[in-house]
Amino acid sequence: MLPVKLVLDTNIIVSAHLNPDGFERSVLIVALTDPARLFISPEILAEYQEVLRRGKLKIVPAHINESLQLIKTKAMLVKPTLKLTVTSDPDDNMFLSL
C-alpha cells in the first residue's frame, strides 16, 4: 500500500486538541499512523507550537508537549526550497510550499 502524504493546517491541529471526539482528532491520528505520513516544516512546527500554547485555548500544557513530541517523532521534517506566495492569507503559503 502506498503511503498517504499529508500536510495539516494549524486549524486541524488545534481542533484535534479542543474536541477529542471530533473528526479533526481522527485526521491527526491517521496522519501519525502508518502507512500515512505527516509532513511538517520548521515554520509549520513553530506555528503549531505558538498557537497551541495560546492561553485562551486552555489546552493543558502537558497535552501540548506530548502531542508536539509525537508530531516531531512521527512526522517527516522538510525544509521547502520553494516559497510560494499564492494565497490571500500569507500564513497559508507555508503549507502550500511544503
Q: What domain range is 33 assigned to?
A: 5-97
Q: Which residues have a Cβ under 8 Å from the Cβ of 84 and sit 6 or more positions away?
A: 93, 96, 97
Whether the pLDDT of residue 98 is over 90: the answer is: no
Whether the pLDDT of residue 2 is over 80: the answer is: no
Q: Amino acid identity of 88?
A: S
Whether the pLDDT of residue 44 is over 80: the answer is: yes
Segment 53-76, tens digit of pLDDT: 999 999 999 999 999 999 999 999
Give the chain's domain count: 1
Q: What is the percent of the chain where pLDDT is above 70?
A: 99
**What's the start-to-end Cα distance of the chain, in Å?**
23
Whether the pLDDT of residue 90 is over 80: the answer is: no
Higher model confidence: residue 80 or residue 88?
80
